[in-house]
Amino acid sequence: MGFLVIFTKKIMMNHRIFIVLLLFSIFSQVNAQSALKLELYTGPQLGYQQLVNDSRPSIEFQPKLANHLGLGILYSIRSDWQLAIQSEFTGIAYGYTFYPNFPSVDDSRRFTARGGQLWNHRLGLRKSWEKGDHALYMQPMLGITKGRFIDYSEYDTLASFNFLTTRTSISLNKGLELGMKFYTKNKNYFLVGLRHQQGFNDLYPTDFNWFNNAPVSTIQRRGSYSGLVLGYGIDFKGKTKEEKELWKSGKEERKINKRNLAWSNGSYIMISGLLRFRPKYEREQNLEFSHISGGNEFLVGYTKGSWSLESGYNRWRAYTNVILLEGVNNHTPTDYRMDVIPLRLRYHLDLGTRQRLRVGASTAAMVILGSEGPYWSSFAFARRGEEVIYDLASVPIEQQVLGKVFFNAGVFAEVPVFNSSMFTFNFSRNFGSPEVGRVLLEGEFSKGNFSETFAGTLNGWVMEIGYKLPLNIVFKK
């Protein structure tokens, strides 16, 4: 075990130098024969972690999905073999139960904690099987996982406080990745794969002790995870002088062809950001912009003729504002996140013959997957002289919204960008929303006791701006 610790420390000191030297060697040999490729990737991953010495009552620890984001450089050794260098960070996420009134266990809240990351650096050897416009690949790999933590162990007896020192722990790892590449017309490619990484030794444990019990509960990790790899690869292929001249001569024709493809039938993806303007009864009085909340969506759709059908994932924010009397309100702590699956139907008309503007109308049903909101109560107090106007606590209430539906309808416009995609502008309205963001408001109000439940909705006007990418542009040969 001592050898392993010494070995990992040496890796920690020298891996940066090794990677820099290897990159320099690769770049110095790159030529017009496309020896070098660059990959950018992301995707969901489940990090394997466990709670040691679970407390009583149990906090019901559970790992959750998080993201990973990385970069890879590949160098061709042979036509079907490549050396891969990858560097990435993986997010950390887990759920647990918290008892706000401990030692009483009558009230409990379920938390999802997200934050921090582990860094992975690895070397791999990739074998590819080319199949025309796509390829299969397998990549075994070895590397290290780095986890940073704060060490409180150094104590200053004179000043009577602990020093906070940032340190790094190391775990060796091995992994395997299997996937497919889908080539574009310029030999760049999209990447879809599955990866599993297995750590060899424990990283520094994280204390997890809300109840001050002994023994202390800790979260133990080795950097192991399983995840989906979604990426894009860039082939640094050079062109001959003749190829460059031919490329220039066909520029105008390619421009027209790309525009025609972008506006024709086929699949597309769209990413949008949105603002929702909440109804008047959900706004705070005399506070500008209090009724605006944000959101985002990712959609996949298909266009045929003048009709489009799309679905995907949508995230909204729900707030609850309680108006006690004119001029007096309590903005409760209900910043709820609502996860939604939209199903939208669009009808459009192209104006003019040069494909410069598309307008249309849309309608959608929105299916709520669930909500994630605040776990803490908030308190509000106001008085006039000796008179107490209100002394209230806002307590979030859990509610079941899975499967409930609301609706959206509006108009939209699309304009071309880069001749191969579009900007979309949508103006619509949500209606028929169920109650969301429920809170119990209780305490003293106007010299009397007060206890009442309030809720908001997802209704209101919606303004969206998005980017739409037709996939027949990407995959055209």
Residues 58 and 96 in one domain: yes
Which domain range does residue 289 map to?
A: 250-474
The pLDDT value recorded for residue 212 is 61
Highest mean pLDDT among 5-14, 110-119, 217-226, 432-441: 217-226
pLDDT score at 57: 78
Local confidence band at 15 (pLDDT 50, 70, 90 cut-offs): low
Domain match, 111 and 254 both: no
pLDDT of residue 393 exceeding 70, the answer is yes
Least confident of 141-145, 207-211, 407-411: 207-211
Residues 383 and 466 in one domain: yes
Position 461 pLDDT exceeds 90 = yes
* Rounded (10°) angle between helices 251-262 and 241-249: 60
Whether residues 360 and 398 share a domain: the answer is yes
- Determine, yes or no, domain membership for 24: no
- Looking at the fold, whether 109 and 256 belong to one and the same domain comes out as no
Query: Can you give the pLDDT at residue 376?
Result: 57
Q: Is residue 477's pLDDT more than 60?
A: no
Q: What is the DSSP string of 103-117?
A: T--S--EEEEEEEEE
Look at residue 23 and tell me whether its pLDDT is greater than 60: no
Question: Which pLDDT score is estimated for 278?
Answer: 83
302 with 339, same domain: the answer is: yes
Please state, in angstroms and rounded to a whole number, the distance separating the CA atoms of residues 393 and 378: 6
Please say if the pLDDT value at position 422 is more than 50: yes
Instruction: Flag whether 25 is in a domain.
Output: no
Residues 231 and 262 in one domain: no
Q: Are residues 387 and 291 part of one domain?
A: yes
Of 49 and 21, which is predicted with more confidence? 49
Residue 354, amino acid:
R
pLDDT for the residue numbered 381 = 61
The number of beta carbons lying within 10 Å of the beta carbon of residue 197 is: 26
**Count of structural domains, the chain:** 2
Could you report the per-residue pLDDT of 307-336, keeping only the tens digit for each? 999 999 998 887 776 665 555 555 554 567
What is the domain-level CATH number for residue 180? 2.40.160.20
pLDDT tens digit string along 65-93?
899 999 999 999 988 999 999 999 999 98
In a domain, 67, yes or no: yes
> Are 66 and 110 found together in one domain?
yes
Q: What local confidence, expressed as pLDDT, does residue 186 receive?
A: 74
- Judged by average pLDDT, the poorest of 125-139, 161-175, 323-337 is 323-337
Among the candidates 202, 235, 268, a domain finishes at 235
Domain co-membership, 174 together with 255 = no
H helices, E strands: number in the chain:
4, 26
The two three-digit tokens of residue 276, written as one number: 């929702």
Average the pLDDT over 154-172 and give the result: 70
Kindly state the average pLDDT of the residues 353-366: 89
Instruction: Note if the pTM is more than 0.75.
Output: no
Domain boundary among 181, 208, 235: 235
Distance CA 245, CA 243 (A): 5
pLDDT band at 280 (very low <50, low <70, confident <90, very high): confident
- The answer to which of 98-107, 118-127, 134-143, 449-458 has the lowest mean pLDDT is 98-107
The first and second tokens of residue 24, run together, are 């320099």
DSSP-derived letter for residue 8 is H
Give domain status of residue 29, yes or no: no
Q: Are residues 92 and 224 in the same domain?
A: yes
Domain boundary among 180, 205, 235: 235
Q: What is the mean pLDDT of residues 253-279?
A: 86
> 256 and 112, same structural domain?
no
* pLDDT for position 9: 47
Range scoring the smallest mean pLDDT among 150-164, 252-266, 288-302, 386-400? 150-164
pLDDT over 80 at 447, yes or no: no
Residue 23 located in a structural domain: no
Rounded Cα distance, 151 and 160, in Å: 16
Handedness of CA 68, 70, 74, 79 (dihedral sign): positive
What is residue 5's predicted lDDT score, i.e. its pLDDT? 42
Which of helix, strand or coil describes residue 217?
A: coil
Q: How high is the mean pLDDT of the chain?
A: 80
